[in-house]
Structures are given as structure tokens and as C-alpha cells.
Amino acid sequence: MPRPIIITASLLRHAATCDRRVWLDTFVEPDAVTLTPVALLRGIEHEAAVQAATSRVIDEIEVYSWDEGVSATQELMRDGATAISGAYLEQLLELENGTSVTLRGRVDRLVYDARTGCYQPIEIKQYAELNEADRLQLDFYIYLLQQMQGARVEGTFWLGKDADNQPRYVLTHVYNSGRLQGAMRKALTTLQRASAPAVRLEPHCRECPWHDACVEFSRATLDLGLLPRLSRQARSGLERHGITSLNQLASLSVEELQRIKGIKATAVTHRASAIAYVENRPVWVKPLPDVLHGGGWMFDLETAALPGGDGMPWSLGWCDEAGNSQIAVVAPEQPRQTFTLPSMGLLTVVADKDEAWEVFYEAMCADDKPIYHWSGFDAGVMKATAPARVKAALLGRMHDLHHTFVNTVRLPLRSYSIKKVAPYFGFNWSGHAEWWAAETDYRRWLATGDTQFIAQACGYQRDDVLALAIIWRWLVENHENGL
């Protein structure tokens, strides 16, 4: 029996960048969702604020399935509701070859236009710069509404918001039927394939839930896309020279690589990364800086970055070379206290971020060793939020271990996020491994006082610094073998 074909607005959005994603999203059940839903949460929060500010009265209707949503929307349209938020649109399309295709989309807002007697769609975006997928999405809603209402429909974007949560920019959309028909034809062709289209790893793949699966798939073919930060220009240059796999790239000298357009300063690291994949081992490109041999502290922090957060640190974590960890966590409503969390070390509860920085400062006064952190984020937050005396004493000791790592050794990895590098050395987070999940637990602890939540949040913070210790130790113990 042929598979039913459903084209949704998000499917069309993805079709603008990757056919493989369209196919996988439709036919394969993902093992796990590994992406941070923060962009989504912020978008939802933004839309809710704008919807509330632009509606005088809101009646909520609960629906429990897609079909119920479609029926409720149709009923509201028949009743002449002034505006419908999150409207469910659906139309059946009969192709010339007899195939039925269901078209589905949830538009942010439908507004009744008394002048035309029709509902017009509005898409609400947090950002002000539209992309091709946004335009395609609104084309799709316009098409659905034209089919449903038998009349010409006009769409509008509401972009950004002002201090009163009113849309900052209102942009009339120019409907492009040719663009939409082309995208739908392309999506249909993809959905009628018996197997998934080939992997083509691009920078945007980092935002895709299939990223890890596609990377694993590419390892078998040693695809060029496995190289971290390979620019489009460099990839095209390599392909023009007939170099399509890491095997081929690894066999070239640095000088030969530098003759290819788009590859100059990156020749050494690209070649080392290619060898790392081909031989499945770390490849050293530089001696290890001496400073690492003196040991040091491992440091990481968490800031309130979920919607509603103020961007300030809510947790600072650190450990020594042996992994003895300590955490300072901010809880404005609680008395200052220090206690031991089982298997985690000392936890100090403080009133604000300044106090947290002071606790950290006191611990660092034990010696003057380097303070290792991963990427420029932690030092940047220290610079922006720590009291002056803490900055004066500690900023000069901060050492970006990520920077040192990527410039010293290459691994068979596409990403040098700590969540990829530490597992390469056998370290795994004991609980959840996402900052937003830790912040969610922290917020639950503040709201309920349930220590299980703060233990989970601190477990994440503790594992972040233990991961640093594992990486630091590996560098120190292995560098001489590599060069």
C-alpha cells in the first residue's frame, strides 16, 4: 500500500535546505531529540507576548488531536471570530497521476478582514530578517487559505516587538506561487523516493536533529563534510580538484593543499583532521603549551539563559586536577549555607552572583595556578559580571583550554564542543547533558525547594568541570607520544 503523503509547513521549510531531512523527518523515528529547544522556547514566548498584547479578549479552546484542531478552526471561521491564534489549516490535493496529498499547517494568527470577507494569515517572528524558508511558509498558508476560501488572500509578517509587545515591523508579504509550486514539487519528489537522499554535511546541519546520525553515516565514506569548519569555498575548491574524500585529502601535503582556493592557514589543521579520521586516532599539530604542565583548576559556569532569565550566572563550578569539585549556586530567597552533596562535593548557597564570585575567588586564592575553561564564554561572563577585585585577581589566570586543544591536536570529530570531546576520551555526563535541562532543574528547585532538582542541576555543573579535568589530563599525559 502506498504511503500517505503529507506536506506540512515545517517540511517545506526544511526542504529549502535539505531533502534528506525531509525524507528522514517523514519516514524515520528519531532515537532521541538531541537539540536545544531554547530557540523554540524563545519563539513561543515571543509569540505569546505579541498575541496577548494584540488581542483584547482571548478564549482558549483545548484540542487533543490534529483533526480536532482543524474542526475547531473551521467552526471559528464559520462563526466569524475576529482573530484565531494557532489556526489549524488542512487541504487535500489531488495530483494529475491520482495521488492524494494532504497539506497541513498551523498559522500563528488568522485575522478576519471585513473588506474582503476573508481570513488573512499573519506570521509572527522574533527576528527582523526574513529568510527564504519564512517566505515559503507564508506562501504555503496563503495557498491553503485561498483553496479553503475561494478568494485572494494577503499575508503579513509581524517582526520583532517593542516595549509594549506590539510588533516592531509589519511587513506585507509578496505571494510567489511559482516559488511555492517549485518547493512542493521538490518535496513530493523527495517523499516518493524509496530511500533517503545522500548526506551532504553543511554548516546548517548543526541545527538538525539528524546531525549525529548523518555524521556516523558519513564516517563510512570519509566524506569531506566531516571536517570541522570546512568553508563552502574550500569544499568547492577541493571538489574542483577531484578531492571528494578525506582519504584523498590526507594524502596531500600541506603545500599542495594551500594551492587550493579557500585553503591557506587552515591547511595544517584540515590535513591533520583528515588523517585523524582516516587512521581513527588523535593527530598532534603543535607542542602543548608549557603552562598546562603546572596543573590548575577546572572552571565552568551557568547563566540564566532560558526565556525570562536575566543572563546572570546562577551557578559557578570548579574542581582541582583530581576532580574534587565545589559549586556556588545563587538562591536569593535562601539563607547562606554550605553543605556536602553526596558524591558531588561542597555546595554553597549564596544570595546573588557577586557572592558566588567571592566564594570562587576565595577557593582560587589557595594558589596561583591557571583556571581552565572551555571557549571564551566563561571568561567573557567573568569580565561582564564579576566584582572588580575578582576580575583583577583572576582574569589573568583564565586559560581557554578549548583554544589550546583545537590548536594542538585534532580528533576524528566534526565538533570540538566539550560534549563531543570529553566522550571521545570515555567521559559521559551522569545525568542530563544539556544546559537548558540543568537550568530548568535549578528553576524547579527555586520554586519548590525539592533538593532532588538542585542535585540534578549541580550534577550537570559538576560533570562539566570533571570533563575539563579529563581533557586536561589527557593532553598532559599524551602529548609527548604524539610529536
Q: Which residues bind ligand SF4 (CB under 6 A)?
A: 18, 20-21, 24, 199-201, 205, 208, 210-211, 214
Question: Could you give the CA distance from residue 416 to residue 276 in angstroms, rounded to a whole number?
Answer: 13
Residue from 427, 433, 455 nearest 442 by CA: 455
CA atoms within 13 A on the CB side of 455: 10
DSSP code, position 261: T
Cβ distance 120 to 113 under 8 Å? yes
Q: Which is nearer to ligand SF4, 215 or 438 (CB)?
A: 215
Q: Kindly state the smallest distance separating residue 59's Cβ from ligand SF4, in Å.
A: 39
Q: Which is nearer to ligand SF4, 24 or 107 (CB)?
A: 24
Q: Which is nearer to ligand SF4, 21 or 402 (CB)?
A: 21
Q: Kindly state the smallest distance separating residue 236's Cβ from ligand SF4, in Å.
A: 17
Q: Which is nearer to ligand SF4, 21 or 462 (CB)?
A: 21
Task: For residue 225, give Cα distances in angstroms to 6, 215, 238, 274, 439.
Answer: 30, 9, 11, 11, 33
Question: Could you give the CA distance from residue 179 to residue 400 in angstroms, rounded to a whole number?
Answer: 46
Q: Kindly state the smallest distance separating residue 17's Cβ from ligand SF4, in Å.
A: 6
Q: Kindly state the smallest distance separating residue 111's Cβ from ligand SF4, in Å.
A: 34
Question: Could you give the CA distance from residue 473 to residue 323 in angstroms, rounded to a whole number?
Answer: 11
Q: Which is nearer to ligand SF4, 199 or 454 (CB)?
A: 199
Q: Kindly state the smallest distance separating residue 227's Cβ from ligand SF4, in Å.
A: 14
Q: Which is nearer to ligand SF4, 205 or 350 (CB)?
A: 205
Question: Could you give the CA distance from residue 246 to residue 258 in angstroms, rounded to a whole number?
Answer: 16
Residue from 415, 407, 412, 418 nearest 467 by CA: 418
Task: Kindly give, in sequence order, each residue whose CB lies less than 8 Å from that of residue 396, ignoring residues fewer than 6 positions away.
Answer: none
Residue 476 CB neighbour total at 10 angstroms: 15
Task: Kindly give, in sequence order, each residue whose CB lies less than 8 Å from that of residue 238, ignoring residues fewer than 6 positions away.
Answer: 224, 244, 249, 260, 263
Question: Could you give the CA distance from residue 293 to residue 60 in angstroms, rounded to a whole number?
Answer: 62
Q: Kindly state the smallest distance separating residue 230's Cβ from ligand SF4, in Å.
A: 14
Q: Which is nearer to ligand SF4, 137 or 348 (CB)?
A: 137
Q: Kindly state the smallest distance separating residue 248's Cβ from ligand SF4, in Å.
A: 21
Q: What would you report as the CA-atom Rg of the chain, rounded to the nearest whole angstrom?
A: 27
Task: Kindly give, in sequence order, each residue whose CB lies less than 8 Å from that of residue 402, ignoring residues fewer than 6 positions away.
Answer: 373, 374, 375, 416, 418
Q: Which is nearer to ligand SF4, 175 or 210 (CB)?
A: 210
Q: Kindly state the smallest distance separating residue 104's Cβ from ligand SF4, in Å.
A: 21
